[in-house]
Amino acid sequence: MMSNLAVLPIIIPLVSGILLAFFHTKTPFVRHAAKLLSVISTGVAAYVFYYVLQNGTVTLETGGWEAPYGIVLVADLLAVTLVLTTNIIGLACIFYAPHSLTEQKEKFYFYTFFFLLITGVSGAFLTGDLFNLFVFFEVLLMASYALITLGGEKVQLRESIKYVLVNLFSSIVFVTTVAFLYSVLGTVNMAQMAERVQEVEQQGILTTIGILLFFVFATKAALFPLYYWLPKPYTVPNPVVSAMFAALLTKVGVYSIIRMFTLVFVHKMEVTHELFIWIAGFTLVFGAIGALSTNNIKLVIAYNIIPAVGFMVMGVGIYNQTALSGSVYYMISDMIIKAALFLLAGAVAHVVGTPDLRKMKGLIHQLPLLGWLLFISAFVLAGVPPFSGFIGKLMIMQGGFADGEIAIVIIGLLSSLLILYSIMKIFVRGFWGEKDESITIDKKTVTALTWPVAFLVFFTVLLGIGAEMFYPVVDDISNQLMNPEIYIDSVFKE
Amino acid sequence: MLFAVLLPLVLTLLIPFLSKFKDKVHTGIFVFFIPLGIFIFFVRFIGEGFSPELESYPWIPSLGISLDFYLDGLSLLFVLLISGIGALVTFYSIFYLHKSEKLAHFYVYLLLFMTAMLGVVLSDNVYLLYTFWELTSISSFLLIGYWNHREGSRYGAMKSMLITVFGGLSMLGAFMLLHVITGVTSVQQMIGSVDLILSSDYLPLIMTLLLLGAFTKSAQFPFHIWLPDAMEAPTPVSAYLHSATMVKAGIFLVARFSPIFHGYEWFFIVVSGIGIITLCWASYMAVRQTDLKGILAFSTVSQLGMIMAMLGFGTEAAVFAAVFHILNHATFKGSLFMIAGIIDHESGTRDIRKLGGLMTLMPISATLALFAALSMAGVPLPFLNGFYSKELFFENSLHIGDTTLWIASFLKQAIPYLAVFGSIFTFVYSMYFLFGTFTGKQKLEQLPKKPHEAPIGMLIAPAILVFGVIFIGLFPNLFNETFLAHAAKAISGEDTHEHIVYWHGLKPAFYMSLIVVAFGTLLYLFRKKWWSIYRAIPGSLSFNRVYNGILKGLDVYTAKLTKSYMNGSLRRYTALIVSTIIIVTGLVMAGTNGFTFKTDDLAPVTIPEILVGIMVIAGAVGTILAKNNVAAIIILGVSGYGQALLFVFYRAPDLALTQLVIETITVALLLLCFHHLPQLSRRTEGAGFRLTNAVIAVGFGTLMTLIGISAHSSKWFTAISDYFLETSHDLGGGDNVVNVILVDMRGLDTLFEITVLGIAAFSIYSLIKLRSKEGE
């Protein structure tokens, strides 16, 4: 079905970002306008999601140039689900931002960068064109460079240079890979690529190019052994920025892996997907180890991004419908909980004045609600029922067992324990114990910082207890992923 | 049943409100009626005609997760224990916990636990069971950490959580495997597919994972170490969770899945083997403890081991004895914990070295302790329930079924001796607990408080339990047919008609009891003589040290390992990332025969092209070798201009122009930057470092070249660019195809590339301005 709806989740944040740039000095106005625009954007995303759920994939041939020649946007269920999740996270962040940022930063185009980041992310989810995906990667990366350096503190610049350079490198490889693929397949339209790769049964150089493309996305997704750039740089910007990064950027990488390796490169699974399982295993282990290696609570959470990505890629590697459903479910859950955790850690560090766990104790007396939200989050992350992390992990691991992938599932179970321990350490050492009288809190700020966290944690609980409501959507998504012809037909057979 | 399970959970919502009145009414009074009500609701199921009931509600049917509650004899036994002991403990806690404590927290956790535990024993759905299972771990964690201002409390809470959640996750693994193999999620239906499971290749794995869950929860050797540290919890919690109910969840799990593994010999070996080792080790260790609750904790571990061993025997009579002992243990151990709590409450200490001679000061407590402790010791008196179950244990240890594996046969021979050994020490620690506290010399000067008898309210709960000890002792067969037989049947699958008698005649079991009493008395009386043996065994060895070592190791080595590669050096990161890409992609290319090389569609190479090619390469190499930054930039420019020349050769003047402009601007900008930057000389690196980098760089270049050549040699399809050429004029309205592509055909790309530039501009602006404004 052809409809302009597909482009709305890209255009609205783009226009919002540009509009807000004009009023950047009028802080109170911009704050309220940003909230309003974010609500509108979320509302539209919700409508597009609903529409796609009811009517099937919506496509848009931009500029009226028919596929595969022009750029086609493909709003399939996976894409719109992720777009909606992105907007919900954005909503929480936009309400958190004024209480966390200095007014200076807000004046210097924070909200513009923020909305353009959303533009890039939504675009990456929605596009059906590999080169256009590269362009949206550039948009979101450039916005992220702007956000990570906003403020220009010494430590920020030192860490972000690593972030920027590694990502620039992977962008170069990305565009080179697109060129290679164009040379072989003569197209950059994903649906047509899928058709053509199938036609030649992914022979010759194609698998190699596929793996190269995988490494491009794996670098963004922070898989083993490519994630070095991630942990530290994620701890230096404002928590609101870290939360957006943690929730969205790595997941765009995971999304791209899912898209390319369920749609296009699916004919040499014994090579590609087997490799994913190995990489997922190492990612799980090393990520969890990293999370235990530090006393900086922001860094603990940053490291926790890594094993979660490992779980998602594990599902892709296993590649059956159960496991893929699990990957998608886990991805949605993880986007939300990671955002929540970064906002939470930011609020805690804000109150205590440092993210160093060794300087915290008895915070439950001052921050009871945040403490319990952290407690719940630990179980969401570890995959304990009835929270959302469990549903995703359960399906991934069931899928693994069904295909006889015993070792990776057991690694998954053990890493869950380590993940739980890494967060529980924060709860026990930081929140339990004697009250620290030297810490005083500003109740109003704390409340304002707490609600967005609670809002997000609420969703993860809902996704767990109410899994039956969401499961059909995810099942539908994985069904589409397992049957690439659905995607191809939606692009070509109109 | 759903209502009964969820009732405590629902009440937790009211607790914060109810606790507002805690100055007037102790919050525990409201809570007390919940377990009491549940007890009354379920007690009516007792009867000879009892038959199992199933209640089902949908939850996440798509994943096979539903709220299936199944009440059979086994669950009924546990439900009554949970609600019955729960009511008594709550009642006791009203007097134990002062109103100045955080009562709301305590009762919320306690109610959370009740729901969890009822859920565990009533769930028929494995995932639901797992959900409640983890919830018991969580509520136990919170209760152990109730006094979290104490270091020991935090340590104990974390320890119990890590060990039990480890077990829980492993149990989940077993459940998933069972689900995948049988295709069902109901325990009863799994039991129906027992043949499928027993013939599966994964059987040993399933059993191991499942038993890890059971053993960690029920504190079996060597996972028992969390239980003594869990004694940091308030005593009502120890009596309830860590003696009567939660720690029996592992027993429950083994019992629940016994029908599946019944015919599998390794099940006997592992369950009985670990059970009997636990019994011996823990009872031996209990004598060494100095904390009253420590003695009781090890005692609980050892008793759980005994029950576990009997479940492993698997014979109908042994299973019945196990069920009987679950009930008996709850009565005498529950009351002993409460008495320990009373002593702590009234004297201010639980250190047995400071206690003694309290009999005269606390006569009622002493009397209650006397009966409970003698029952625990298994003293052959006709009114102590502990004696009956101990005697049944001995008898069954002599009648284990047939074995085929040598290790099973060996175990079968060894078990009776080990049973006697463990029971001797059980006798010793029982005496030690009883006489060490209540007889001997009073050391009042060492006590923080002057001890006196507890208020009557606090004595009621243990008195009721001791009454149970004697009542069951006097009428051991009262509940056989109506209650215990149903539970045994649920485990062994066979109808059970046991009759318990006091006097068996001069049978081996009776001699075993006599040996226990005789040796036990001797060992107790001369305990000072052999005490030093603890210095040899376990000496300084302990599983706590293993646990602490693992945690310490996690702290130290995770940090070491992570720091070893996350050293903050961007060069290092890039080297690692690029090497990974080279190795893996290279291997894939070799493995899939990816390389192809065709020259048939290549144009002839002219001399100017070769010269320009050399120029580009020379520029690239020269950049690396240049000693000075400015020189490097200028030489790099040579490469860029060379590429521009190539575009000219290939008749792409617009591209050539673009390239020229970019090169010129870049060089100019960089020179400008370096003018403002401090004069940095290039760092001189070691030869090894440079060699590695050279290898990586050349490797990556080679890889990309090979892929590029192969990609060029594999043009299998017509490119979509033909369409652009054809339609550019008619549909795009322009004859410059590149322009039409940029502004029309792929206008979206251009729009967002412009956006990228815009963001960059804003970002640079704010980077400069914000810094100077904030005065850095």
Shared domain check, B621 and B554: no
**What pTM did the predictor assign?**
0.94
Range of the domain at B539: 532-566
Are B165 and A62 a contacting pair at CB < 8 A? no
For testing contact with chain B, the best of A65, A374, A463 (most B CBs within 10 A)? A65
d(CA B319, CA B396): 9
Are A208 and B594 a contacting pair at CB < 8 A? yes
3-state secondary structure at position B53: strand
Q: Which of A161, A204, A293 sits opposite B596 (nearest CB)?
A: A204
Residue with the larger pLDDT of the pair A134 and B316: A134
For testing contact with chain B, the best of A211, A272, A364 (most B CBs within 10 A)? A211
Q: Is the pLDDT of residue B44 over 50?
A: yes
Does a structural domain hold residue B85? no
For testing contact with chain A, the best of B554, B577, B740, B771 (most A CBs within 10 A)? B577
pLDDT tens by residue, A28-42: 999 999 999 999 999
Are A290 and B562 a contacting pair at CB < 8 A? yes
Lowest mean pLDDT among A5-14, B72-81, B381-390: B381-390
Contacts of A384 in chain B (CB under 8 A): 134, 138, 165
Q: Which of A109, A161, A187 sits opposite B762 (nearest CB)?
A: A109
| Sign, CA torsion B271/B274/B276/B278 | negative
Mean pLDDT of A235-262: 94
pLDDT-derived band at B339 (thresholds 50, 70, 90) equals very high
Per the omega criterion (within 30 degrees of 0), is the bond before A307 cis? no
Shared domain check, B645 and B585: yes
d(CA B267, CA B248): 18
Query: B720 in contact with A at a CB cutoff of 8 Å?
Result: yes
d(CA B592, CA A265): 14
Instruction: Tell me whether 0.90 is exceeded by the ipTM.
Output: yes
Nearest to B489 by CA among B37, B190, B72: B72
User: How distant is the Cα of B748 from the closest Cα of chain A, in angstroms?
Assistant: 7
Shared domain check, B690 and B664: yes
Q: Is the pLDDT of residue B418 over 80?
A: yes
Burial of B104 (0-12, 13-18, 19+ CB in 10 A): middle
Shared domain check, B726 and B679: no
Are A208 and B592 a contacting pair at CB < 8 A? yes
Are B580 and A406 a contacting pair at CB < 8 A? no
pLDDT tens by residue, B552-569: 888 888 888 888 888 878
Does a structural domain hold residue B83? no
pLDDT tens by residue, A85-120: 999 999 999 999 999 888 888 888 999 999 999 999
Q: What pLDDT is attached to residue B247?
A: 93
pLDDT-derived band at B98 (thresholds 50, 70, 90) equals confident
Nearest to B118 by CA among B17, B240, B206: B240
Q: Write phi, then psi, for B380 (nearest 5 degrees).
A: -70, 80
Shared domain check, B351 and B467: yes
Shared domain check, B578 and B505: no
Q: Which of A135, A208, A424 sits opposite B161 (nearest CB)?
A: A424
Q: How many domains does chain B have?
A: 4
Q: What pLDDT is attached to residue A494?
A: 58
Are A146 and B711 a contacting pair at CB < 8 A? no
Shared domain check, B577 and B554: no
Q: Which of B566, B716, B719 sits opposite A231 (nearest CB)?
A: B566
Q: What pLDDT is attached to residue B50?
A: 87
pLDDT tens by residue, B659-694: 999 999 988 988 888 888 877 666 667 788 889 989
pLDDT tens by residue, A59-93: 999 988 988 899 999 999 999 999 999 999 999 99
Shared domain check, B740 and B617: no
Alpha-carbon A162 to chain mean position = 20
Are B576 and A225 a contacting pair at CB < 8 A? yes
pLDDT tens by residue, A435-468: 888 888 888 999 999 999 999 999 999 999 999 9
Contacts of B145 in chain A (CB under 8 A): 428, 432
Does a structural domain hold residue B1? no
pLDDT-derived band at A167 (thresholds 50, 70, 90) equals very high
| Sign, CA torsion B9/B13/B18/B22 | positive
Q: Which of B505, B530, B555 is the last residue of a domain?
A: B530
Q: What pLDDT is attached to residue B671?
A: 86
What residues have CB less than 8 Å from A188, skipping those under 6 apart? A129, A130, A131, A132, A178, A181, A182, B720
Cβ atoms of B197 and B263 closer than 8 Å: no
d(CA A102, CA A116): 20
Shared domain check, B342 and B375: yes
d(CA B357, CA B365): 12
Residue B58 bridge partners (DSSP): B66
Q: Is the pLDDT of residue B91 over 90?
A: yes
Q: What pLDDT is attached to residue B674?
A: 81
Does a structural domain hold residue B621? yes
pLDDT-derived band at B596 (thresholds 50, 70, 90) equals confident
d(CA B499, CA B482): 13
Shared domain check, B686 and B605: yes
Lowest mean pLDDT among A176-180, B246-250, B622-626: B622-626
Are A385 and B763 a contacting pair at CB < 8 A? no
Cβ atoms of B213 and B219 closer than 8 Å: no
Does a structural domain hold residue B443? yes
Q: What pLDDT is attached to residue B776?
A: 42
Residue with the larger pLDDT of the pair A385 and A42: A42
Task: Tell me the average pLDDT of chain B.
Answer: 89
Q: Which of B699, B719, B739 is the last residue of a domain?
A: B719
Lowest mean pLDDT among A424-428, A454-458, B688-692, B758-762: B688-692
Does a structural domain hold residue B157? no
* Nearest-Cα residue of chain A relative to residue B573: A228
Are A292 and B555 a contacting pair at CB < 8 A? yes
Do strands A72-75 and B65-71 pair parallel, antiparallel, or not at all (unpaired)?
unpaired
pLDDT-derived band at B462 (thresholds 50, 70, 90) equals very high
Lowest mean pLDDT among A239-248, A324-333, B463-472, B556-565: B556-565
| Tokens (6 digits) for A5 | 């709806």
For testing contact with chain A, the best of B63, B178, B728 (most A CBs within 10 A)? B63
Task: Tell me the average pLDDT of chain A.
Answer: 93
* Helices A388-402 & B151-182 angle (0-180, nearest 10): 40
Does a structural domain hold residue B773? yes
Nearest to B291 by CA among B349, B231, B338, B351: B351
Query: B569 in contact with A at a CB cutoff of 8 Å?
Result: no
Shared domain check, B536 and B473: no
Residue B631 bridge partners (DSSP): none
Q: What pLDDT is attached to residue B224?
A: 92
Q: What pLDDT is attached to residue B572?
A: 85
Does a structural domain hold residue B222? no
User: How distant is the Cα of A142 from the closest Cα of chain B, in angstroms?
Assistant: 6
A residues 449..478 contacting B (CB < 8 A): 467-468, 471-472, 475
Q: How many CB pairs under 8 A join A and B?
A: 288
Cα dihedral B149, B152, B157, B160 in deg (nearest 10) = 180
Mean pLDDT of A238-250: 94
Shared domain check, B383 and B496: yes
Cβ atoms of A138 and B752 closer than 8 Å: yes
Q: Which of A205, A215, A429 sits opposite B711 (nearest CB)?
A: A205
